Structure 1
C-alpha cells in the first residue's frame, strides 16, 4: 500500500472526534428488526426459518473482511486461497458458495460468468456494510436457483436520525492494511437517502505457502440507496453498487505472478403501491461483473444479469397473509469474447398463517421455466411453535435445484447434457430463553443433493456425480449474561458431508467457538474469542486430513463520546500456523485499530 493512504488515515483520525459533535438530532425510534425468511416480512421470533443476523458491531470485531464475521456463526465455515481479496468460499452446513444466493440491497451479485455462478466472499469488505442476514436451508422456492444452502442478504449503511447524518470509519493494521469509509444520508417522513464511499488496500501476505512474496489487494467501492414516498400510496426507490478491485495471487508453486482486475456494477429500481390491504411492488435490476486475468487460461470473464419482477402481498385476515409474483431473468456470460446466455421465467406464491397465538406456518411454491431445461417446481414449509413463552420450536422442509452455470454448460471444460441438480433439505430446532440472562439453541439439519455437478479429472470436464451428496449435522449455540458486565457465548457445529462415498473437502467435522465480553467500564469493553476447527480433509483425488487448529482473537472498544468510538482487534493472538486450503497461507498474528464516528 502507498504511503499516501497511510498518511491520509492518520491525519483524518484526529478529526473524527470533532465530527461526532457536528450533528445533535434525536435518534428515531426504530421498529423491531424485520427479516424476510420468505416472501413476506416477519420478525425473528415468528419465523420458522433458521436466520442469523450480523450487525455492524459484530463486523468490527473481525477485521476488514465480512466473511470472517460470517464464519463465526453456527453452521458456517470459510476456506480461502490466501488473504483479503483472494478466492474465498463460504460454506453453510457443508455446502459452498455455489449453493448460496447473495444480494446487496436487493441486487443479486453472484457472477454469471464464474465457473459455478458464485460470489467471491474474499472481496466483500466491511466498510459499507450495516447488517448481514443469513437464511439457512434450501431457499429455492423463494429465491430460485443457487440457494440450496441458503441466502446471504447484505444491507449497506442507512441513516437513523432525522435530517442530514453520516458515518466515518477509519481502520489501519497489519500487512499495511488500510480502510477508509464515509457515509452520508438524509431522512425525513418521505425521503431516505444514503451514499457510501469506501476504500481498502493491503500489501497482504503470500497466498501460497511455497513462496514468500506478498499478494496484495486494493478495492474502491460505492453504494447508493434512495427512496421517496410520493404519496401515502406510492413509494419509489433505487439502489446501486459499484466496485473496482485488483488482487494479486499465486498461480502455482512456481508462478507467483497472478493479477486479476474486477469491476462490479449493479442498479435496482422499484416502485411500491399500497391500496388498502394490498401492496404491489414492481422492480427491475441489472448487474454486471467484469473480471480480467491477463495470463489466465480464460482471460476475460464478463457476466451480466437483467431481472424484472412483480410481487404482490395482501392481508386476507389478521391470521392470514398471502404473497405471489412473477419474475423474469436473463443471464449472459462472455468468455474471451464468446457469448452465451440463458433465461428463466418464474411464478411463485407464499401463504403465511397464524394458526394459533403460539403457532405460525408458512408455505411456499415456485415454478421455474429455464432455457433448455424442463420446468421445475420447488417448495418450502416452515413452522414456528411457541410451546411456552420461553421456548420456540422451529422446523422447515424444502426442495430445491441448481441449474448448470453458463460456464459449466459452454465453457472450455463444458460437460455434455448436464441436468439441473435437485435437493431436499430439512431442519428442526429449539430455542429456549432462561429469563433475561441466557438463551440456548439447538438445530439438526439434513440436505440431500441428486445429480451434483463437479469437475471430473478423469474426463477434464464438468459432470454429474453419481448417487446422492449428503450433508447433515447439528448446530448448538448459546449466550449467558453472567453479571451486568460479563457475558459469555459459544457455538458448536458437527457436520458430516459425503459425495460418491467420499468425504466432502474443506468441510470441518467439528467447529467450536467460545467467547466472552467484559464491560470493564461504562465506556470500555473488551472481548476474547477462541475457535477450534477439527476434521477437515482436502486434496484432489484422494483427500487427506489437514491439521486441526485453534485460533484466538481479542477485541476492545472505547466509546470516546456517545457518537464516536475507537476499537482494537488482534486476530490469531497465538500466531497459530494453519491451512483452510492445502498449500495456501492464512493470516499470522495481525493487529487492527479503528475509529468510527456518527455525525
Structure 2
C-alpha cells in the first residue's frame, strides 16, 4: 500500500487582450496550469492534439501516432496488443503518468508503474495534451519525463447524436465503434464502446505462430451544470483484453502462445463551484487493474488498485494574473504474488510534496519562468515474508490470494 499526498501552488500572470486589435486565438491547454490557458502563456512545453487529428490517426496504436510529435518516441515488443512504451525526451514508463478523463491509468501493480500503450487505439478518444519536462509540482515526483492527458470524445453540437464506425485491415484486423453524444445548455453526455480484433503476427524468430489480440473498451463522460455556479460530473472507463505473446527464448511446447489477460475499470466523480473570484474543483477517483499472465502452464496474477482525492482552486481577481493552488492524496495497493510466496510484499509510505512555479509576463512580452521548486518528505515501511512451498501448496495459495 502506498500513500501519496501532494500540495501545489502556482502563480500565472497573463496580459489583457486589447479590445480593438485583430488577433488570432492561441491554442488552449488545460493540463499545464489546471485552468484554460493560452499555450504561449502556459509556462510549459505542451503539445495539443485535437480530437479531429486523433480520429484521423494513420496508426492503429495510439502510442505510435504520438511519435509524430517532437520529442516523443515509442517501442513495442510486437504487433497490436503486445507491450508498448511511450517516452518523452527519452523517459517513459514510471516517469510519464497517463490520465484518461482525469483517471490515472498507470498500472499500480506494474514493477515500473507505467502505462502499457500496447492495445490502446484511437477508438472513442478525443483531444490529447502532452506536457514535456518535469511536472512534479503538479502531478507528483514521478512525473519527471512529462504527462500525457487523454480525453474521450465530447459532444460538439447541441442535441442527441449517434455514430458508428467499422474498419478492416491487414493481419485480419477488425475494429468497430458505437457512440452516443448529447448536449444542451446545461448538460454534456458522451458514451462510446469499441471492439478490436486482430490475428497479428509473430515478432519472434523462434515462435512463428501469429500473436493475436482482442479487446473491448467503453468510455463514459457526463457533466451537469446544476446552477450558474455549481456543476457536477462523472467519467468512467472499462477495458477487457486478451493478448498473445511469444515466450522468452522461444516457445517450448504446444500450444505455444502465451497469453496476457487484462481487466481494468476506472471511475471519477467531480464537483465544480465558483464563489466570486475563486473557483473550486473537488474530485474523487478509483482505478483497478487485474492482469493475469499465462506462460508454460504457470499463471501469474498482477492486481492493483488506486484511490485518489484531489482539490484544485483558482483565484482570478480580474487583473493580469491568476493564482492556482491545490492538493491531492493517493493510496495505492498492489498484489504481485508468485506461486512460491505465501504473503506478498507490503510497502507503505507517506509522502508530502509541495511545489511552487511562478510565471511573469509584462505588456512588452518579457517573460520570466524559473524551474519549479519542490520539496518532499517521505516516511515508509516495508515488510517481506517469503516462504517457498512444495508444488502441492500452489492451489492453496491461489485460493487464499
TM over 0.5: yes
Superposed CA RMSD in Å reads 2.5
Q: Which has the higher strand share?
A: 1
Query: Is contact 1:129–1:157 with CA below 8 Å preserved after alignment?
Result: yes
Q: Bigger shift: 80-89 or 298-307?
A: 298-307
Do the aligned partners of residues 372 and 65 (structure 1) sit closer, same or farther apart at CA in structure 2, a change above 3 Å counting?
same
TM (norm. structure 1) is: 0.55
In the alignment, is residue 295 of structure 1 matched against residue 290 of structure 2? no
Q: Structure 1 residue 134: deviation in Å?
A: 0.8
Which residue of the partner structure matches residue 284 of structure 2?
284
Q: Structure 1 residue 410: deviation in Å?
A: 6.7
1:188-203 → structure 2 map (5 Å cutoff): 188-203=184-199
Do the aligned partners of residues 39 and 54 (structure 1) sit closer, same or farther apart at CA in structure 2, a change above 3 Å counting?
closer
1:16-415 → structure 2 map (5 Å cutoff): 33-59=28-54, 60-255=56-251, 256-295=256-295, 299-336=300-337, 338=344, 340-342=346-348, 343-348=350-355, 351-361=358-368, 365-372=373-380
Do the aligned partners of residues 39 and 208 (structure 1) sit closer, same or farther apart at CA in structure 2, a change above 3 Å counting?
same
The CA deviation string for residues 352-407 of structure 1, in whole angstroms up to 9 with x for no partner, is 5443352455675555444418xxxxxxxxxxxxxxxxxxxxxxxxxxxxxxxx9x
Hey, what's the Cα distance between the residues in 1 that align with 2:74 and 2:305? Answer: 27
The CA deviation string for residues 483-532 of structure 1, in whole angstroms up to 9 with x for no partner, is xxxxxxxxxxxxxxxxxxxxxxxxxxxxxxxxxxxxxxxxxxxxxxxxxx
Hey, what's the Cα distance between the residues in 2 that align with 1:346 and 1:282? Answer: 19
The CA deviation string for residues 272-319 of structure 1, in whole angstroms up to 9 with x for no partner, is 110111001111100001100133877000011101111111014511
Hey, what's the Cα distance between the residues in 1 that align with 2:368 and 2:275? Answer: 26
Q: Structure 1 residue 209: deviation in Å?
A: 3.0
Where does the alignment leave 5 or more consecutive residues of structure 1 unmatched?
A: 1-29, 374-405, 413-599
Q: Structure 1 residue 33: deviation in Å?
A: 3.5
Query: Is contact 1:326–1:348 with CA below 8 Å preserved after alignment?
Result: no
Query: Is contact 2:33–2:324 with CA below 8 Å preserved after alignment?
Result: no
Hey, what's the Cα distance between the residues in 2 that align with 1:229 and 1:318? Answer: 26
Hey, what's the Cα distance between the residues in 2 that align with 1:115 and 1:199? Answer: 28
1:434-473 → structure 2 map (5 Å cutoff): none
Query: Is contact 1:54–1:69 with CA below 8 Å preserved after alignment?
Result: no
1:545-584 → structure 2 map (5 Å cutoff): none
Hey, what's the Cα distance between the residues in 2 that align with 1:349 and 1:187? Answer: 38
Where does the alignment leave 5 or more consecutive residues of structure 2 unmatched?
A: 1-24, 338-342, 387-401
Hey, what's the Cα distance between the residues in 2 that align with 1:268 and 1:410? Answer: 33
Hey, what's the Cα distance between the residues in 1 that align with 2:34 and 2:111? Answer: 29
Hey, what's the Cα distance between the residues in 2 that align with 1:411 and 1:37? Answer: 42
